Structure 1
């Protein structure tokens, strides 16, 4: 069974919030009672993103496959990722870093949770591959189709724009295996550390060749790396042939301050993703935690949707623009205000994604 959607409006959003927090309380004994920082002790943390381990034998097989991927970057049918994140606990606790906006300097738990759900959960299948329409449970006989994030299945071009990426490369390097364009955005003070972390984990993009202007990665450099391998072997030749034939992903890092975003200014990377992609997803994980950021964030979402719906000549583009917003359920008042402003003030079509694993977690995911 796949996930269902709950259509939220001015009447249903408060009932949704009430039920979600009742469920949260019911599952409190099984959930961590913290703010959601992945690690409060380490500046270097290692994150494994892999399917749930069912047996000892399965664990051994997956460990061997993961080690093989880490050694040579080759593709495996079972998606296994090992990402090392350099975070800055000192900047997190600083009162001056990045104009007092410091939460992006560490990895938050919502991102690994979302990736494991998206990659491995049977109920998230419609976001991976084309599927039948998704049921909207609170509207009689209503079904909607949503485009998959993966582009390799139905031969369409898919781009992702991530808002509030922070210093973590986790989402970017993993989802870049399945999309054609990926743009990471955040405030200027975050970007150098983010670029460094992406480069350190670039081998995790094993299903596509990565090219990037902002990271200064060219396709020819990747091919030279394979060609200059000192060990002549059939395995190396296979790796080179695979690398030379595979699809590419363009991954870029760009400054985007929600309070200063101007759609009248030229944005080359956004232009490229707008003009080349059939489907665009705007993704943001755990950016709803402060009441003062809600309005700038929603203004950015609204302006981006307008910006991405027109090409350089100003005419409408036939494409899908969707938003996936992950929220760590902390303050009930903050989540309520976010939904009220999104639905009432900005008149955005908001759906809550519901399935058994999400409903038992302390995260909520919304589709716009």
Structure 2
């Protein structure tokens, strides 16, 4: 299968020197994004992605709490809708190169309360697994329920590893109730995955017939030193599921890691990239493949990683 070589050939030279990559990214003028929240005080935020409207409920209370283990996943970050729109756009290089297709299974690390990537990709893939710590669970499910597939009936086609929230957007459901079901709609599920304490296994797929993933997504998960090693190790463990289950996925290409992030502290970025390169070969999506709002000049960057022992 030649989808990955086709994709890699469009990305330019492989990144060999983390310090050089840091210099190239941080030496250019960059828009100030502060911490990167959209509105940390709002209870809900409306966003439009590829001509579809979504409502995301968030928790300012959890964000400002002293909860052990972090609170940053309680609100929506600026990169989330930008990345979701790019990822699900018809011109996305992952789909144009056929690295992703309607049969693909994806996993997202550190999704927080936002299922935007899963919702936006729903018509284009087979399965999307959201993962994070348990505290995001209630709001995440509320956000899945509040944003049903277009032209769906009131019964959601998403599934979860926990009971669905009874609260949802009745106006959205009424709007779509009389419409026919979509021809294709991905299964969306959630699994608890703490990078420091939980073990990665094929059970994350939630499907006995699926033992690995075609792609891993992490969106704005790199923001402090303490998380770098466990995050990168979890990325490697997830991608390695593909090579560990060769019998079930014979002939399948390696799992692609897609890491999107806001450019904040340059030293944290360098440390992350150095650690990431220990496990992965790394490329950066060039500016011409990204909308202006996701380019380094806007304060964002997207990298692609392939496990060093996975081949192409």
Q: What TM-score do you get using the length of structure 2 for normalisation?
A: 0.79
Q: Number of residues paired by the alignment?
A: 278
**Structure 2 equivalent of residue 251 of structure 1:** 188
Asked if 2 retains the 8 angstrom alpha-carbon contact of 1:181 and 1:250, the reply is: yes
**Structure 1 equivalent of residue 99 of structure 2:** 148
Alpha carbons of structure 1 residues 169 and 118: separation in structure 2 relative to 1, 3 Å: closer
How far apart are residue 172 of structure 1 and its match? Answer: 1.4
Matching residue within 332, 341, 350 for 2:275: 341
Asked if 1 retains the 8 angstrom alpha-carbon contact of 2:45 and 2:55, the reply is: yes
**Structure 2 equivalent of residue 353 of structure 1:** 285
Matches within 5 A, 1:39-188: 39-50=39-50, 80-96=51-67, 99-120=68-89, 124-130=91-97, 147-151=98-102, 157-188=103-134
Asked if 2 retains the 8 angstrom alpha-carbon contact of 1:49 and 1:82, the reply is: yes
Higher-Rg structure is 1
**Structure 2 equivalent of residue 366 of structure 1:** 303
How far apart are residue 271 of structure 1 and its match? Answer: 5.0
String of CA shifts for 1:228-263, please: whole Å, max 9, x gaps.
x7xxxxxx5xx43xx2x7134211111111112324
Identify the range of structure 1 (333-342 vs 184-193) with the bigger mean alpha-carbon deviation: 184-193
Q: Distance in 1 between matches of 2:81 and 2:128?
A: 18
Q: Distance in 2 between matches of 1:324 and 1:166?
A: 17
Asked if 1 retains the 8 angstrom alpha-carbon contact of 2:46 and 2:56, the reply is: yes
Q: What TM-score do you get using the length of structure 1 for normalisation?
A: 0.68
- Point out where structure 2 has 5 or more consecutive residues left out of the alignment: 1-6, 165-172, 306-312
Asked if 1 retains the 8 angstrom alpha-carbon contact of 2:84 and 2:117, the reply is: yes
Matches within 5 A, 1:224-243: 239-240=179-180, 243=181
Alpha carbons of structure 1 residues 329 and 247: separation in structure 2 relative to 1, 3 Å: same
**Structure 1 equivalent of residue 235 of structure 2:** 301
Alpha carbons of structure 1 residues 215 and 188: separation in structure 2 relative to 1, 3 Å: closer
Q: Distance in 1 between matches of 2:284 and 2:15?
A: 7
1:19 aligns with 2:24: yes
**SS of residue in 2 equivalent to 1:364:** strand
Q: Distance in 1 between matches of 2:149 and 2:13?
A: 38
String of CA shifts for 1:35-64, please: whole Å, max 9, x gaps.
1101123111111123xxxxxxxxxxxxxx
Asked if 1 retains the 8 angstrom alpha-carbon contact of 2:33 and 2:299, the reply is: no
Quote the RMSD (CA, aligned, Å): 2.8
How far apart are residue 273 of structure 1 and its match? Answer: 3.7
1:328 aligns with 2:279: no
Q: Distance in 1 between matches of 2:120 and 2:281?
A: 28
How far apart are residue 173 of structure 1 and its match? Answer: 0.8
**Structure 1 equivalent of residue 167 of structure 2:** none
Q: Distance in 2 between matches of 1:302 and 1:22?
A: 30
Alpha carbons of structure 1 residues 255 and 297: separation in structure 2 relative to 1, 3 Å: same
Alpha carbons of structure 1 residues 308 and 115: separation in structure 2 relative to 1, 3 Å: same
